């Protein structure tokens, strides 16, 4: 384990990461009780109100943690010797190429899970409401939420876990916590997978920007599929699978090569 220095927050245990996530979730519950009905009565869609409450809850807890660790936003977002432009030039396109394949595989996983564990009426309504999302929902889900969640789960929790555990263990722990934070088994699958990829991107680059792009890309494509009635299931047309598979493989290979080059430039933890 490396000594703690200003760029590496104090090591964090898996149990503490779970506890902090519970605090954020509990804050979300309290804020929802206080604000959700008021927000919907002032014209926000229920989904937009829920997304806004989640952003406020995680953003509030994150702000306290950031202040307690005396970190600047610059250190949080990009703590690397490589500049942001160079990092995203090499990783931006490969990340976007793997997004469709991730979404399709997630759709298959959800289809199988629903056969084993049928959704409740409330859960079905929640997922169906995505198709009726207005502009506010798009901004929150595809723009603001990826920023806030990456700042909390990768910028704070993963950094701390990397200071205590071996990299592979820290990435799995952080992905598990990210999946659990979604509080339903259907979203856990894609959240865990995205958490693993985002954690790998962060560990190699010491930058939140690749994970934010991945997170925003996945959320955006899920919203697009919902709006246009595209079902990411076994019934998805073969041509969509073929294009997504080809792009996903090409993107994964390019990511592997780019991350291999970047590893030597990233800060060790």
* 70 Rama class: left (phi>0) / alpha (psi -120 to 50) / beta: left
- What pTM was estimated for this model as a whole? 0.88
The confidence score (pLDDT) of residue 158 equals 95
The confidence score (pLDDT) of residue 106 equals 87
Q: What is the mean pLDDT of the chain?
A: 86
Count other C-beta atoms under 10 Å from residue 150's C-beta. Answer: 27
The confidence score (pLDDT) of residue 261 equals 60
173-188: per-residue pLDDT in tens?
Answer: 999 999 999 888 888 8
The confidence score (pLDDT) of residue 264 equals 42
220 pLDDT above the threshold of 50: yes
57 pLDDT above the threshold of 60: yes
Burial of 180 per CB tally in 10 Å (0-12, 13-18, 19+): middle
Least confident range from 19-23, 95-99, 200-204, 225-229: namely 225-229
Is residue 254 very low, low, confident or very high in pLDDT (cuts 50, 70, 90)?
A: very high
d(CA 153, CA 158): 6
152-169: per-residue pLDDT in tens?
Answer: 999 999 999 999 999 999
List the one residue out of 142, 218, 162, 114 whose CA is nearest residue 14: 162
| DSSP code, position 166 | -
116 pLDDT above the threshold of 90: no
Q: How far is C-alpha 116 from the chain's CA centre?
A: 25
Cα-Cα-Cα-Cα dihedral sign, residues 36, 42, 46, 52: negative
236-251: per-residue pLDDT in tens?
Answer: 888 889 999 999 999 9
Q: Is 253 helix (H, G, I), strand (E, B) or coil?
A: helix
> What number of helices (H) and strands (E) belong to the chain?
12, 0
The confidence score (pLDDT) of residue 5 equals 41
d(CA 179, CA 110): 14
76-88: per-residue pLDDT in tens?
Answer: 899 888 889 988 9
The confidence score (pLDDT) of residue 124 equals 74
Q: Say if CB 158 and CB 150 are below 8 A apart.
A: no
DSSP string, 22-81: HHHHHHHHHHHHHHHHHHHHTT--HHHHHHHHHHHHHHHHHHHHHHHTT--HHHHHB-SS
The confidence score (pLDDT) of residue 196 equals 94
Q: Which residue has the higher pLDDT, 159 or 70?
A: 159
Q: How far is C-alpha 52 from the chain's CA centre?
A: 16
Burial of 48 per CB tally in 10 Å (0-12, 13-18, 19+): buried
Least confident range from 129-143, 154-168, 207-221: namely 129-143
The confidence score (pLDDT) of residue 8 equals 55
């Amino acid at each position: 384990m490396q000594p703690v220095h200003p760029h590496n927050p104090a090591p964090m245990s898996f149990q503490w990461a779970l506890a902090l996530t519970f605090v954020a979730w509990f804050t979300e519950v309290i804020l929802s009780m206080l604000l959700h009905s008021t927000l919907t009565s002032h014209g926000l869609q229920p989904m937009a109100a829920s997304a806004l409450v989640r952003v406020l809850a995680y953003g509030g807890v994150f702000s306290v943690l950031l202040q307690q660790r005396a970190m600047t936003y610059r250190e949080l977002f990009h703590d690397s010797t490589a500049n942001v432009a160079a990092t995203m030039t090499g990783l931006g396109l490969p990340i976007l190429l793997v997004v469709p394949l991730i979404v399709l595989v997630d759709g298959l996983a959800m289809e199988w899970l629903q056969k084993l564990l049928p959704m409740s009426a409330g859960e079905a309504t929640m997922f169906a409401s995505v198709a009726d999302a207005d502009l506010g929902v798009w901004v929150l889900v595809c723009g603001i939420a990826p920023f806030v969640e990456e700042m909390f789960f990768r910028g704070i929790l993963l950094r701390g876990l990397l200071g205590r555990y071996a990299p592979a263990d820290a990435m799995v722990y952080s992905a598990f916590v990210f999946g659990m934070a979604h509080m339903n088994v259907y979203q856990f699958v894609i959240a865990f997978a995205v958490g693993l990829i985002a954690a790998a991107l962060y560990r190699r680059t010491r930058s939140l920007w690749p994970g934010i792009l991945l997170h925003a890309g996945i959320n955006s494509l899920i919203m697009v599929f919902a709006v246009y009635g595209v079902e990411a299931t076994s019934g998805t047309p073969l041509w969509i699978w073929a294009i997504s598979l080809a792009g996903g493989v090409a993107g994964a290979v390019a990511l592997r090569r780019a991350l291999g080059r970047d590893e030597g430039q990233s800060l060790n933890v």
